Amino acid sequence: MFAAKKTKINTSLTFSQLYGAVTMNNTLGLGIFAALVYFQNLDWQYSAEVTVILFMEFTIGIAVIIAGFGYKHTYIVCFSS
């Protein structure tokens, strides 16, 4: 709904929601995954998957910091209109 209006504030809000949803989803999935491995005494053979999840979370975090999260009220958005 917010993205359909295509204003600077609504676009920023949409990106904020997407960044938050991706980070929360990855963190929750990784937490459940780690709990299953720990409580079921499974062998740890998932280094590649966990590395990719953590890498993407840090990448999104750095992108948000560089884009000015905490310093500006809107995200930098590049659209070709």
Q: What is the pLDDT of residues 20-77, one digit of tens each?
A: 888 788 889 888 988 988 999 988 887 888 888 788 878 877 877 776 655 555 555 5
Determine the average pLDDT of the residues in 7-24: 77
Distance CA 37, CA 31 (A): 10
Radius of gyration of the chain from its Cα atoms, rounded to whole angstroms:
17
CA nearest neighbour of 10 among 79, 80, 62: 79
Query: What are 78's two structure tokens?
Result: 């590049």
